[in-house]
A and B are shown apart, each in its own frame.
Chain A
Amino acid sequence: MITATQPEQDAAAEERPKSALQRLVSAQAFQILGVLLVLIVLFSIAEPDAFLSVNNFRNVVVNVSILAIIGVGMTFIIITGGIDLSVGSVLVFSGVVAAKVMTALGGQGVGVSIVGALVACGSGTLWGLFNGVVVARLKVPPLIVTLGTLGMALGAAQILTGGIDLRGAPTVLTDTIGFGRLFGQIPYLSLIALVVVVVGAVILHRTRFGRYTYAVGSNGEAARRVGVRADRHLVLVYTLAGFCAGLAGILNLAFFSSTTIAGQSNTALNVIAGVVIGGTSLFGGIGTIAGTVIGLFIPAVLQNGFVIMGVQPFWQQVVVGAFLIAAVYVDQVRRAAATRGASTRRSLSSRFSRPSGARRKEAQ
Chain B
Amino acid sequence: MTPALEARGLRREFGHVRALDGADFDIDPGEVVALIGDNGAGKSTLVKALSGSLAVDSGELYSDGERVTIDSPAAARALGIETVYQDLALAPHLDPVQNMYLGREVMRSGLLGRLGFMDHAEMKEKTQRAFADLGATVRDFTAPVGSMSGGQRQQIAVARAAAWASRVIFLDEPTAALGVVQTRNVLDLIKRVRDRGIAVVLISHSMPHVIEVADRIQVLRLGRRVATYDAKETSMEELVGAMTGAINQEAA
Contact = CB atoms under 8 A, between A and B. Distances in A.
Interface of A: 1-3, 6-11, 13-18, 23, 203, 206-209, 211, 214-215, 217-219, 221-223, 225-228, 284-286, 338-339, 341, 344, 364
Nearest to B152: A14
Interface string B211-250: 0100000000000000000000000000000000000000
A180 B143 CA distance: 45
B118 A364 contact: no
- Is the contact region of chain A dominated by helix, strand, or loop, or is it mixed? helix
A344 B152 contact: no
Nearest to A8: B137
A209 B118 CA distance: 10
A222 B73 CA distance: 13
Contacts of A221: 89
Interface stretch (B8-16, B31-39, B42-50, B177-185): B177-185
Given A6-B184, A6-B185, A207-B116, A17 B139 contact: yes
Nearest to A206: B117
A94 to B, nearest CB: 26
A218 B143 contact: no
B181 A208 contact: no
B110 interface: no
Contact of B143 (A13, A17, A214): A17
A3 B212 CA distance: 12
A285 B118 contact: no
A215 to B, nearest CB: 5
Interface stretch (B21-29, B97-105, B166-174): B97-105
Contacts of A211: 94, 98, 102, 105, 118
B176 interface: no
B194 interface: no
With most chain B CB atoms within 10 A of its CB, the pick from A10, A18, A226 is A226
Nearest to A281: B93
Interface of B: 73-74, 77, 85, 88-94, 98, 102-105, 107, 115-118, 135, 137, 139-144, 146-152, 181-182, 184-185, 188, 212
Nearest to B74: A227
A218 B117 contact: no
- Is the contact region of chain B dominated by helix, strand, or loop, or is it mixed? loop
A225 B91 contact: no
Contact of A215 (B91, B107, B117, B139): B91
B118 A206 contact: yes
Contact of B93 (A6, A203, A225, A285): A285
Contact of A208 (B90, B91, B105): B105
Contacts of A341: 147-150
B144 A7 contact: no
Contacts of A228: 102-103
B65 to A, nearest CB: 27
Contact of B139 (A16, A227, A364): A16
Given A15-B143, A208-B105, A218-B91, A7 B188 contact: yes
Nearest to B149: A341
B116 A14 contact: no
A219 B99 CA distance: 11
Contacts of B146: 218, 338-339
Contacts of B144: 338
Given A14-B140, A14-B149, 19 more contacts: A6-B185, A6-B188, A10-B185, A13-B181, A14-B137, A16-B140, A17-B143, A207-B115, A207-B116, A207-B118, A214-B94, A214-B98, A218-B92, A218-B93, A223-B102, A225-B73, A227-B74, A285-B94, A341-B150
